[in-house]
Structure 1
Amino acid sequence: MTYPWNGAAKLADATDFVRAAEAIGCDVAEIRAVWEKEAAGKPFRADASLERRFEPHKTTPPLMTYSASKILRKAERERLFAKYYAENPEDAMRATSWGAPKIMGFNYAKAGYPSAAQMVVSFAQSEGNQIGAFVKLILAWGLDSALRAHDWRSFARVYNGNANVESYAADLERIYRRISGAASPQVLKSGDKGAAVRRLQEALGATVDGSFGPDTEHALREFQRDNGLVVDGKAGQKTWEALARQVDVKPPAQPTQSDLIATVTAQAGAGAAALGTVSASLRELPETATTLLVGGAVLAGLLALAAWLYRRARV
């Protein structure tokens, strides 16, 4: 039997990625970072069939809950897919992610196809077709701005869902650094606060108060317009590069996974040290009822903090 996910399995070449980057208005390294994150850059399986993952909680009606689907072993997932495909092929393909960019079948229209089946057939023919569909989906979802800005968090929320946004974003940054040899600047937008915002305001010649409000956004949009950039009110990769060409400014870099782990580990160490200091101090105090009550409350709070930091470090 011939299945739609078996095709020519032609791999992409450099020009496919260049055309995709030109269509989105970003760099090739940004496309490749997503490509590697989503499927380790592998659009096809070892048997040359199209890379795929059946999600039985996405069928109509759902075959099971998300929690049950998440823990399925690969062999069982494949068995369920084969069984359901025999009964309802189009819905089975809609409930499956396909190719290197892991595009769900139900997104066929935004990816430029009249049906999930035709999308699968096209993807099975070439990785270049997968790249083309990825570009259409990115533009349809309005994620082109996020890619250009290296706003990995915003990209993760839409493309991968709300789960593990920080981890996904940090992993994209790690891959991007390896591919490009450069770190991405921290992305700033309306509502942000802190030292990075002050640095941006100084570079723009705006009021420096550390709060990204309407005045800062207006100044940023004017700068983007004057410098031929996409006017989106977001200080990302292209905007920071343009600022650096005019003034001496160096934005803080986005964190990778190792940066996040190092930060949480340091916080956990500081919390443990503080807990030890407070515990030692409490031992020196007289054991009055009031002291015990206050000391117990402080210890409970610090223990809760230490437990939270430990869980973050484990994640």
Structure 2
Amino acid sequence: MITEAEFEQVAQDYNIEVAAIKAVHQVEANNGGFLPDGRLKILFEGHVFWRQLVKKGVDPYSILKQEHRDVLYKHWTRDEYIGGTGEWDRLAEAYKMTDDDRVKTAAVESASYGAFQLMGFNAQLVGFKDAFDLFFFLAEKELNHLKVFIKFCEANNLTRHLRSKNWAAFARGYNGPGYAQNKYDIKLEAAYNKFRL
């Protein structure tokens, strides 16, 4: 777990309230980046897998079989989420669909990882060679999750919204335009108000 001193140091370095960082930490992965068995918390996104395959020149229809419809689909849906260790099974299924390295890379890019649920395809944006390098860095310790989260916020000009507690603007930048559907901004504000007391 991230220690209080580590939260405070990062907050001080970036002029952000500790409560604001803790709010995102709680809402994204319920205060923890690892499963009880020691593996990273992940969520596999089948629509992202579709998109990443297309970017790599792989036609998703060319590898889509009925048994893979739980991990490869064109549009976002939460219907296929399993949660917990089941998400690792979904990632493994996607990874093993073919021997094509492009497919394997796209699979690793299509999950979100750790305490702040950063998508694998953001690896280069936050200073890593690829999603595999990002994964191994996050697997070391939870402090690394916090470091990567701040890098992502800096790269996307989101730290200003954390400073001003503009939860809607932060939510839009961090989770996309559909954030309101899941009341992401409302959850963040509620968590912030809890931690600032």
What's the TM-score once normalised by structure 1's chain length?
A: 0.51
Q: Closer, same or farther in 2 for the Cα pair 1:77/1:99, shift >3 Å?
A: closer
2:141: which partner in 1? Answer: 126
What SS does the aligned partner of 1:47 have? coil
Contact 1:23 1:135 in 2 (8 A): no
Distance 2:25 2:75 in 1: 25
**One-letter amino acid of the counterpart of residue 105, structure 2:** E
Return 5+ residue gaps in structure 1 as ranges.
Answer: 1-10, 182-315
1:82: which partner in 2? Answer: 92
1:168: which partner in 2? Answer: 184
Structure 1 segments, 4+ long, off by >6 Å, are: none
Contact 1:21 1:31 in 2 (8 A): yes
Which protein is bigger by CA-based radius of gyration?
1
**One-letter amino acid of the counterpart of residue 102, structure 1:** Q
Contact 2:43 2:81 in 1 (8 A): no
Q: 1:111-190 to 2 correspondence within 5 Å?
A: 111-165=126-180, 167-181=183-197
What's the TM-score once normalised by structure 2's chain length?
A: 0.80
What SS does the aligned partner of 1:97 have? strand
State the Cα distance separating 1:77 from its structure 2 match: 5.1
Q: Does 1:45 align with 2:45?
A: no
Identity among equivalent pairs (%): 29
Contact 2:24 2:116 in 1 (8 A): yes
Distance 2:32 2:115 in 1: 6
Distance 1:77 1:14 in 2: 29
Contact 1:24 1:139 in 2 (8 A): no
Distance 1:139 1:46 in 2: 31
C-alpha RMSD of matched pairs (Å): 1.8
What SS does the aligned partner of 1:157 have? helix
Q: Does 1:72 align with 2:80?
A: yes
Greater relative contact order, per chain length (Cα 8 Å cut-off, separation 6+): 2
Give the total of aligned pairs: 170
The superposition leaves residues 61-105 of structure 1 with CA deviations (integer Å, 9 ceiling, x where unpaired) of: 3521224x4211417754432122134332211011000100000
Distance 1:73 1:104 in 2: 16
Distance 1:80 1:131 in 2: 25
Contact 1:153 1:169 in 2 (8 A): yes
Q: Closer, same or farther in 2 for the Cα pair 1:142/1:73, shift >3 Å?
A: closer
1:25: which partner in 2? Answer: 15
What SS does the aligned partner of 1:66 have? coil
